């Protein structure tokens, strides 16, 4: 099926109430020429702020590194509680909507059909959602918590069996329902207002029930500019992680040095691949790469499952899922206030800021591929399917690493994590058969995840900066693909891992407030939509009764 722009050519979904319709069309104020077609305020201000950030960071590298550290500490200490509470609220709202009377509302109208098969839909969810992060942290994070367990439920002895269970449980927590709850809220909001109300597929459209046509003014511009900055820095964080891991993999295979110049060169090369994918578009580029990546990742995971500690992996998956479910209420609201520690600054607060900063990108991307799904199907699909697969992935790779640390290989992977976290996956693979082949596959997976994340992000940023148009000129898409790579490179130059974490938290915090307002706006929109559907159903029922009489 072809994907028609919401509200294009004056046509709007039949389900759109007349009072909700706007005379504005996507991109009706755009500036065009020289291969570009963009919303002037959003594009120019966003691009200007990104360029300014790049120049300042390059000119003042050492002060920038200090500033990044200070910003991360301040936000985590002063506003960490707010991020923790907000993300729990998003998940709660998503679950309530799924099982409420709104669950039967369908994106695109009650007669709409899904545009993509379920497998392709799930593949794009996983690849766009958190692919590179899964590769980077699946071994490293459980080992971090295994060595240094947080005081969540009292003191736990490091490197013990209890520490192993809690380590995997906390990893599940950081990559589970809370993360996908954020994406579900943003994706549902965007899809609903685009496909059911005929509004542009941009963040500003979500606030139409509150602002009306004022979303096209300065308030809407600020919302979209914030979404662009959040998306770019969230993507840059993932791309920075990914290129560090690619560098570590090539170091294992061919002895390539691990340093920042090499990583910047790798960013340039992989960004070139991403640009090629962007040019090919959503169906032929992103979709095919996502499906290929899912198949390759499944084979990779199956191999580790079969040659690794298979029974330990299955047992840990079952046990840790239970631990996660039992601990979820405590984990969701734990702020370590009474412990007086700062463990969450680099972990939970960072993750929540990272997921929030990714939410405009992932939300718009999920919305674009989810037309025809009901609210219930959408939320349960986005929450449960990727979470289950993520838990299985973490159990296979994290469980294998923990099993090695509990056995005869104690210290092997933990030492690697302490020396260079990006090498953790490859050190683990070194303990298994066919190391060279699996290491190459691991590198290939990171590269393809890099490409799918970058090209998906470029399409989304392009939509945000072109007034909601879904098909923009190729040079404009190439521009944003290159900018993403540049920002990732600059963050590595300006402070490495800490700079990457700071970028996510700093952009995620203001957008967390936007998401809270979004929850309220979505509720108002769904309420009006349901009232309209029930009104039509009542009219039809009355008509049937009259005919029968």
Q: Contact 511/359 with Cβ under 8 angstroms?
A: yes
| Residue 58: per-residue pLDDT | 81
Closest CA to 515 of 230, 311, 142: 230
CA distance 249 to 258: 10
CA distance 241 to 255: 19
Mean of pLDDT values over 378-392: 91
14 contact partners, CB below 8 Å, separation of at least 6: 109, 111
Closest CA to 419 of 161, 175, 174, 143: 143
Whether the per-residue pLDDT at 4 is higher than 60: the answer is no
| Residue 548: per-residue pLDDT | 65
pLDDT tens string 397-456: 999 999 999 998 888 999 999 998 899 999 999 999 999 999 999 999 888 888 877 777
DSSP structure class, residue 470: S
CA distance 5 to 446: 32
Share of the chain above pLDDT 90, in %: 44
Instruction: Give residue for tokens 């449980």.
Output: 169
- DSSP for 293-311, written as a single string: HHHHHHHHHHHHHHHS-HH
| Residue 37: per-residue pLDDT | 85
Q: Treating both helix axes as pointing N-terminal to C-terminal, what angle do 375-406 and 61-98 enclose, rounded to 10 degrees?
A: 120
Closest CA to 122 of 302, 295, 305, 313: 295
CA distance 95 to 91: 6
Structure tokens at 275: 């640009």
Query: Which uninterrupted H or E stretch holds 91?
Result: helix 61-98
CA distance 257 to 250: 8
Share of the chain above pLDDT 70, in %: 89
CATH class given for the domain over 31-536: mainly alpha
pLDDT tens string 143-201: 999 999 987 766 789 999 999 999 999 999 999 999 999 999 999 999 999 999 988 88
Query: pLDDT tier at 285 (50, 70, 90 boundaries)?
Result: low
Which pTM value belongs to this model?
0.88
| Sign, Cα dihedral of 251, 256, 261, 264 | negative
Structure tokens at 521: 């706006």
CA distance 55 to 28: 32
Q: Treating both helix axes as pointing N-terminal to C-terminal, what angle do 118-147 and 348-368 enclose, rounded to 10 degrees?
A: 170
**Neighbour tally for 133: CB within 10 Å:** 24
Q: Contact 397/302 with Cβ under 8 angstroms?
A: no
pLDDT tens string 82-137: 999 999 999 999 999 999 999 999 999 888 888 888 777 877 776 655 567 888 89
DSSP structure class, residue 374: B
Query: pLDDT tier at 389 (50, 70, 90 boundaries)?
Result: confident
The mean pLDDT value of the chain amounts to: 85
- DSSP for 498-512, written as a single string: HHHHHHHHHHHHHHH
Mean of pLDDT values over 283-294: 68
pLDDT tens string 225-268: 988 988 888 888 888 888 989 999 999 888 999 998 999 999 99
CA distance 102 to 118: 22
Structure tokens at 105: 């509302």
> Which has more pLDDT, 375 or 271?
375
> Which has more pLDDT, 292 or 373?
373
91 contact partners, CB below 8 Å, separation of at least 6: 177, 178, 181, 182, 332
Query: pLDDT tier at 10 (50, 70, 90 boundaries)?
Result: very low
CA distance 90 to 185: 7
Question: DSSP 3-state assignment of 106?
Answer: strand
Mean of pLDDT values over 258-281: 84
CA–centroid distance for 101 within its chain: 28
The angle subtended at Cα 350 by Cα 221 and Cα 149, nearest 5°, is 165
């Amino acid at each position: 099926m072809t994907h028609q722009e919401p509200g294009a050519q004056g046509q709007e979904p039949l389900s759109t109430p007349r009072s909700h319709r706007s005379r504005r069309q996507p991109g009706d104020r755009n500036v065009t020429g020289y291969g570009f077609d963009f919303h002037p305020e959003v594009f120019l201000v966003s691009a200007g702020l990104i360029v300014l950030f790049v120049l300042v960071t390059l000119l003042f590298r050492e002060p920038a590194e200090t500033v990044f550290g200070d910003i991360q500490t301040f936000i985590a200490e002063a506003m960490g509680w707010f991020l923790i509470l907000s993300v729990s609220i998003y998940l709660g709202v998503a679950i309530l909507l799924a099982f409420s009377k709104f669950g039967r509302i369908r994106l695109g109208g009650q007669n709409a059909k899904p545009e993509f098969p379920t497998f392709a839909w799930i593949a794009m969810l996983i690849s766009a959602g958190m692919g590179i992060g899964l590769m980077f942290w699946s071994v490293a994070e459980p080992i971090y918590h295994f060595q240094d367990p947080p005081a969540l439920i009292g003191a736990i002895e490091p490197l013990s069996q209890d520490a192993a269970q809690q380590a995997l449980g906390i990893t599940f927590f950081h990559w589970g329902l809370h993360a996908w709850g954020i994406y579900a809220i943003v994706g549902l909001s965007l899809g609903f207002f685009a496909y059911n109300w005929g509004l542009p597929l941009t963040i500003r459209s979500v606030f139409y029930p509150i602002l009306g046509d004022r979303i096209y003014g300065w308030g809407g511009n600020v919302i979209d500019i914030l979404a662009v900055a959040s998306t770019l820095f969230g993507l840059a964080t993932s791309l920075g992680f990914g290129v560090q891991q690619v560098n570590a993999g090539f170091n294992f295979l061919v002895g390539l040095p691990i340093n920042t110049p090499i990583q910047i060169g790798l960013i340039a090369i992989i960004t070139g691949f991403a640009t090629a994918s962007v040019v090919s578009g959503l169906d032929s580029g992103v979709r095919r790469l996502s499906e290929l990546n899912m198949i390759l990742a499944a084979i990779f995971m199956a191999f580790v499952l079969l040659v690794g500690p298979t029974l330990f992996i299955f047992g840990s998956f079952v046990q840790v899922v239970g631990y996660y479910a039992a601990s979820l209420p405590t984990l969701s609201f734990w702020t370590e206030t009474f412990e007086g520690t700062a463990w969450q600054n680099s972990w939970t607060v960072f993750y929540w800021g990272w997921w929030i900063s990714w939410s405009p990108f992932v939300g718009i991307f999920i919305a674009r591929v989810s037309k025809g799904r009901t609210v219930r199907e959408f939320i349960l699909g986005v929450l449960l399917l990727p979470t289950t697969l993520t838990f299985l992935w973490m159990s296979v790779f994290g469980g294998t690493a923990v099993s090695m640390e509990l056995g005869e290989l104690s210290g092997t992977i933990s030492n690697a994590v302490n020396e260079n976290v990006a090498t953790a996956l490859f050190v683990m693979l070194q303990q298994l058969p066919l190391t060279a082949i699996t290491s190459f596959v691991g590198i290939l997976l990171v590269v393809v995840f890099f490409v799918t994340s970058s090209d998906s992000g470029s399409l989304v940023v392009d939509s945000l900066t072109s007034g909601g148009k879904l098909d923009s000129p190729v040079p404009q898409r190439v521009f944003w693909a290159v900018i993403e790579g540049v920002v990732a490179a600059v963050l590595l130059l300006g402070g490495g891992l800490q700079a990457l974490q700071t970028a996510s938290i700093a952009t995620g915090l203001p957008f967390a407030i936007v998401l809270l307002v979004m929850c309220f706006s979505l509720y108002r929109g769904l309420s009006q939509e349901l009232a309209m559907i029930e009104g039509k159903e009542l009219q039809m029922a009355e008509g049937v009764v009259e005919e029968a009489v």
